Structure 1
């Protein structure tokens, strides 16, 4: 029997072992790629704009994430039919190809094609989750899910320090060399060490439905992400929104009429819908708060604005605390879920986020409080992400777990984009003349406090469906 055959027929893991630790490490490596693809190019954004002679920073910033929304429905459904491991390897190779295209792109349009291919890495997270749930026994798998969904945040803490000297020496291309090497290494490790999921569903992939849903979601998210830069009512943005809405409506119409839709709307049970509602609200809350932290981290406290935490090296600590919290929250939530179910850590994460958010009303001007709140918000984010995947997959039938994991991933992204936009609009609407040397406008303390209150209300609202799930479990 070949090594590949051994992998294909490997028995599910029922307890922690060296083999399971190796699996977890390999899948964390695959998930690190998603963070690198989305985040690392932002470290070289000025160089990219200069190289391609463009001022369209918004497209360079958002292109991979929007591509991820387009890829997700197709890859999620394909994983249920063809196998999670096989599709994960294909996803990593697509991301590797995209990085190489970006590396040699002679124009911005070729570069955006590369970013579209790289965006497939967005699917790595939900593919690793669905794979873990099928190659491990349920009790162990929930703990591993917490580890693989949050472990990549450790890299988020050290990545800027590792990449900056490399970028200084080799320029912006080093980001894409690193991404290509990481994707290739992850694909090889998954191919060599991870067994295939034992459960497949029959049928076919509704490619037309996948393109309608993915393209529609991508267009709507593009409007939300880029409208502020290009004008909400500009002709191009309005057309983009209209096309996106029409595509999503067309997908919904077809999904109710075809035998095997990319997502079966008719099969979405009440517990699944409650889970998705809790996740979209909670993701919007914690992502918007993490965005606010990055904003106030740049504002010196001596500017007299009523808020501000920027103080040299303190900024790095403010941005590192949530990443550390994500690891703690995700790992603990997975461990708890394996013993009492994922509903309790989901509600617990939402409650921790609620407390941390309202405490930030004071933390926006108190550095120690901001560090503590940032760590707690990270714990909430880690617990909500891990528990959301675990809960949704536990509810769904095994042959549809890849599809539902993909839907959870899209919902988390949707909540993040929509409420990040809403928070940004609150700050923009409450701007006052700047007190910095360049006179740039900044938000008032009232705007910052309104922003925090909005996120707190979102957490409170998210607790309602999470509590309903526990009551009816």
Structure 2
């Protein structure tokens, strides 16, 4: 709603055009910083609570901007308004917690579409309000809507019992905020300040430094701001990369369309429309996103979220190519923009579903928050690209310097290429295979479960037809059967000595084979699961260096505590001989083939040694006799199971896995 007023704000606030541009930049920065922080706090302290907090900041910011009357106060108000961007990922996670499974996909699709709806309606609405009631009325109306929504949320939306226990990662939040601020400020102001100017270079260097500190901190802290291990999982990582590309692609439509329509016709290709009329021309785009929400949901239910994302990106690519050629009439521009919005609606609807099916239920808000943040990185980058392209290729018409028609076409080509790259990334997103026949759709054709044990027979992957694969992915894309009956199970994973095992992974499956939830324990061995209902579940726990363990447990309370124990420590062991004589006190070392030292020990009186099994990979095992004269080395390949390697100083090693 502020964007159409930017040309008038320098006169209204007695400031420069460069300063007025900060009214958009500051909102971009605060929204980027707030989204991952508020999303993480929603997982820890309550989703409805943080949703209300986000809307309260929007109301506060709107009031400050309305009554301030100065550029500084308006800037502060706009900063507070930006914090409300975290509503989207938090709201999506609330839907997963509260809605029946059959409604989640459609609800997520519609909420994703609201991003486009708000933008399409805000552009013309702000012009009408400004001309009729003055610029302050824009912020008063925002504040009033915010108050009504806060009351509605408190009255209607229940607070979810799904929480992540632990301490908030304040250091990680500060480091990430600093990195994001540096990155987005450099991207958004690079064209204005100069991409090789000292401030921009320092900001990029600052981004690298902050991230270089943040990454190892997040891997070490018990309750990280962003779970990088989960984010590095292939489905999550590839979805987030595709999100950046889709955000980059779709934003060209929002930035270029109104400019095309408002350019004076003296340039030979503009249409000379007013701000209000150009904004009204964007309404079909918003309505198209609403109309496509159920379509994208239907595609997801039938074919899976991966196909939905590919389809949306394909529509984006085709529509941008069409926009290169459809420039002669107003209706052509509107049609092209509308089709781009359709592709955006389809693609955006798939991303939260892809994320939620691949992360623990207790991390849905923070995972969606990171996804929203990366989309913002994509849109900010496109904003910089559009600014650079449209200002580098201009034609002078009298005193006016107007972007050339080829400059707009170049932007559309960049957007089309980004959409195609998104397709290329999305193709490699793994399909999640759940237990066949559990989606409620057509029969999968797989043999029935054994009536006595309830166990599903093993079926090899090549026996699954395309339709069966789709049904399996569909099952994985769906939420639990009845979220009001969910059970939160927490506890610790410990070893045979009772010592907590850090970063252990706990999986919960129905006894019919359908996945329920999974969790990664923190540095104190604590985990948390969300089970769809009371009953018996197959609980599988595993950790590096330990033999996995499984057991069937029954849960009946809404909140349960269950500690899990791993009893068998995986080891690398063997015997050191020298000419048939066992060596007591021989030095045994293990190093990586890349040179890093791993561990060392000494053999006992019987010549035997034993060390904890390191992560799977290639290693060099070396033995040195007690006198320090003879040694022997051998390369070993270790898997995630106990291994026995006997080493003869005068001969070859014997490996027993």
Same-fold status (TM-score > 0.5): yes
**Equivalent of 1:468 in 421, 424, 428:** 428
* Aligned residue number for residue 363 of structure 2: 400
Structure with the largest fraction of strand: 2
Instruction: Give the deviation of 1:346 after TM superposition.
Output: 1.2
- Paired with 1:161 and 1:238, the residues of 2 have a C-alpha distance of 37
Q: Which has the higher contact order (CA 8 A, sep 6+)?
A: 1
**Does the 8 Å contact 1:362/1:369 carry over to 2?**
no
Matches within 5 A, 1:268-279: 268=231, 269-279=233-243
More helix by share: 1
Cα offsets for 1:157-176 (capped at 9, x unmatched): 44455444543354222122
Q: Corresponding residue for 1:256? A: 219
- Mapped partners of 1:406, 1:424: distance in 2: 27
Q: Distance in 1 between matches of 2:425 and 2:383?
A: 22
SS of 2:221's partner is: coil
Asked if residue 123 in structure 1 is aligned to residue 86 in structure 2, the reply is: yes
* Partner SS state of residue 158, structure 2: coil
- Of the three residues 259, 262, 266, the one matched with 1:295 is 259
Deviation at 1:416?
0.7
User: Over residues 308-344 of structure 1, what are the superposed CA-to-partner deviations in whole Å (9 max), with x where a residue is unaligned?
Assistant: 4445687345422322222223332124324443222
Structure 2 vs 1, CA of residues 157 and 448 (structure 1 numbering), >3 Å: closer, same or farther? Answer: closer
The more displaced of 289-298 and 455-464 is 289-298
- Contact 1:329 1:381 (C-alpha < 8 Å) held by counterparts: no
Question: Is contact 2:120-2:286 (8 Å) kept?
Answer: yes
Alpha carbons of structure 1 residues 159 and 282: separation in structure 2 relative to 1, 3 Å: closer
The 2-side partners of 1:428 and 1:108 are apart by 26
Distance in 2, matches of 1:43 and 1:311, equals 13
* TM-score of the aligned structures, taking structure 1 as reference length: 0.84
Quote the offset at 1:285 in angstroms.
0.9
Residue deviations 1:422-461 (CA, integer Å, cap 9, x gap): 23322322223x22xx532223333333222221111111
1:3 aligned residue: none
> Is the CA contact 1:135–1:198 (under 8 Å) kept in the aligned structure 2?
no
Structure 2 residue 162 is the aligned partner of structure 1 residue 202: no
Kept in 1, the 8 Å contact 2:180–2:207? The answer is: yes
Q: Deviations over 1:53-96 (max 9, x none)?
A: 22112211211121011111210110111121111011111221
Aligned partners of 2:31, 2:311: CA distance in 1, in Å?
29
**Cross-structure match for 1:49:** 10
In structure 2, what is the Cα distance between the partners aligned to 1:62 and 1:263? 25
Deviation at 1:155, TM superposition (A): 5.0
- SS at structure 2 position matched to 1:134: helix
Secondary structure in 2 matching 1:442: strand
Structure 1 counterpart SS, 2:168: coil
Match of 1:283 in 2: 247
Q: Could you give the per-residue CA deviations for residues 343-377 of structure 1, whole angstroms, max 9, x where no partner exists?
A: 22211111111110111121123443322221110
Look up the match of 1:447.
407
- CA contact under 8 A between 1:86 and 1:196: conserved in structure 2? yes
Q: Which range moves more in the overlay, 193-202 or 104-113?
A: 104-113
**Aligned-CA RMSD value:** 2.4
| Superposed displacement of residue 471, structure 1 | 5.9
Unaligned runs of 5+ in 1: 1-39
The number of equivalent residue pairs is 429
Structure 2 partner of 1:33: none
Offset, 1:273? 0.7
Q: Which has the larger radius of gyration?
A: 2
Gaps spanning 5+ residues in structure 2: where? Answer: 433-472, 474-657
Determine the C-alpha separation between the residues in 2 that align with 1:368 and 1:321: 11
TM-score (norm 2): 0.61
Whether 1:354 and 2:317 are equivalent positions in the alignment is: yes
Map 1:175-194 onto structure 2 (within 5 A): 175-194=138-157
CA drift of 1:301 comes to 5.2
Between the aligned partners of 1:121 and 1:383, the Cα distance in structure 2 is 24
- Given that 2:321 and 2:413 are in contact with CA atoms closer than 8 Å, whether structure 1 keeps it comes out as yes
CA distance in 1, matches of 2:69, 2:335: 46
Which of residues 334, 342, 361 in structure 1 aligns to 2:297?
Answer: 334
User: Which secondary structure does the structure 1 equivalent of 2:400 belong to?
Assistant: coil
The C-alpha deviation readout for 1:110-144, integer Å capped at 9, x for no partner, is: 43332222211110111111111111133311101
Could you report, residue by residue, the CA deviation over 1:235-266 in whole angstroms, capped at 9, with x for unpaired residues?
A: 44444333333223321231122122100112
The separation in 1 between residues aligned to 2:15 and 2:201, in whole angstroms, is 22
Task: Name the SS for the 2:14 alignment partner.
Answer: coil
